[in-house]
Amino acid sequence: MSHDAAVEGIGMGVGPDGTNVPAVILTAREEYLPIFITSDQAQSIRHSLSGEPFERPLTHDLLVEMVTEFGGAIDGVRIDELADGTFYAKVDAERYVDGQPETFAFDARPSDAIALAVRSECPITVSDEILDAAGRDPDEIEVEKPEPDRDDELVPDDLFSDDPEE
């Protein structure tokens, strides 16, 4: 079964080597799902969540605009696989040709898929299997929402770690 998910915010976690790593935090089934991402992806998602305009379109803005201009739409995003600690996603899209819908599913990094979903305001879904394997109790993770006036700062360090005892 799949569950609708929402982007709760961006957090900082501790990676396997002990360094701080940004993560996008999804909420589904009353659980948090942290997905580690790059700083650039975190910045892109953060900008979109906060509604901050950027001087020039970022890659995700450009892709959404191109899909739309070519008569397509991004219908949804699925976080549908977790293998060896790596999440995988699909972007579902469609376009109409001669009045008939043509559907597509594109493999994507979850960070890219989520950045597109936030911009196109389409649903994000996460499977029970993913949540069973990687979902976290909300009490374990502190999430700070991005604020428009905090341009170069994501969130405080060490909001969560892989160790539930911390």
CA distance readout (Å), 61 to 49, 126, 155: 13, 23, 23
Q: Break the chain into its structural domains and give their ranges.
A: 2-144
> 2-144: which CATH topology?
Bifunctional nuclease domain (3.10.690)
Specify the long-range contacts of residues 17-23, CB closer than 8 Å, at least 24 apart. 20/157, 20/158, 22/154, 23/160
Report the chain's mean pLDDT, rounded to a whole number: 86
What predicted TM-score, i.e. pTM, was given to this entire model?
0.83
- Alpha carbon separation from 163 to 15, 37, 131, 159 (Å, rounded): 11, 18, 17, 12
d(CA 130, CA 149): 34
List, for residues 56-98, the tens digit of each pLDDT value. 888 999 999 999 999 999 999 999 999 999 999 999 999 988 8
